[in-house]
């Protein structure tokens, strides 16, 4: 697998569109940080560590729904391994006029776009969520 973050976002997108209660993905610190931001912003209910049948560590994400409508409308990967996209804090795009969020990888860790603007720190634009 060349892009594990894109795989994680695709699993979340597919699980929300299929109406699944949980989504399981291989664990990494970056994916756990993305799940933490999604939880604080209210896009997912919870996330936890788990172990699969082979003994590998996994990340189990509990999806959030309002009735049958998923909280995650869309997830899009912005910066890819073939085309990295970096931006200053003043150039961070607004997602749906502030209804969505951008997640950036900065020198201070993974942060959402509003925190980057507040702390005046830029970085790699990882994904957009709305």
Q: Would you list the domain boundaries of the chain?
A: 4-70, 75-129
Q: What end-to-end distance do the CA atoms of the chain give, in Å?
A: 26
Distance CA 59, CA 26 (A): 6
| Residues 38/44, Cβ–Cβ less than 8 Å | yes
Helix 29-40 and helix 4-18: axis angle, to 10°? 40
Cα R_g (the chain), whole angstroms? 15
State the pTM of this model: 0.95
Taking alpha carbons only, the member of 105, 98, 93, 87 closest to residue 130 is: 98
The confidence band for 106, taking pLDDT boundaries of 50, 70 and 90, is: very high
pLDDT beyond 90 at 9:
yes
Which residue intervals of the chain are DSSP H helices?
4-18, 29-40, 113-119
Looking at residue 1, its pLDDT comes to 80
Of residues 82, 90, 84, 92, the one with CA closest to residue 112: 92
CA atoms in the 13 A half-sphere facing the CB of 23: 26
Q: Look at residue 84 in the predicted model and tell me its pLDDT.
A: 97
Task: Give me the CATH code for the 75-129 domain, please.
Answer: 3.30.1490.10
The mean pLDDT of 6-15, rounded to a whole number, is 98
The answer to whether 104 and 116 have CB atoms below 8 angstroms apart is yes
Task: Calculate mean pLDDT across residues 12-16.
Answer: 97
CATH topology of domain 4-70: Ribosomal Protein S8; Chain: A, domain 1 (3.30.1370)
């Amino acid at each position: 697998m060349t892009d594990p973050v894109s795989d994680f976002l695709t699993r979340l997108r597919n699980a929300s569109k299929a109406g699944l209660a949980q989504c399981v993905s291989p664990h990494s610190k970056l994916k756990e940080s993305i799940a933490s931001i999604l939880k604080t912003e209210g896009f997912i209910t919870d996330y936890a560590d788990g172990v699969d049948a082979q003994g590998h560590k996994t990340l189990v994400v509990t999806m959030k729904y309002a009735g049958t409508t998923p909280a995650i409308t869309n997830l899009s990967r912005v910066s890819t391994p073939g085309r990295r996209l970096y931006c200053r804090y003043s150039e961070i795009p607004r997602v749906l006029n502030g209804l969505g969020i951008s997640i950036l990888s900065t020198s201070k860790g993974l942060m959402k776009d509003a925190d980057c603007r507040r702390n005046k720190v830029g970085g790699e634009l990882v994904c957009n969520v709305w």
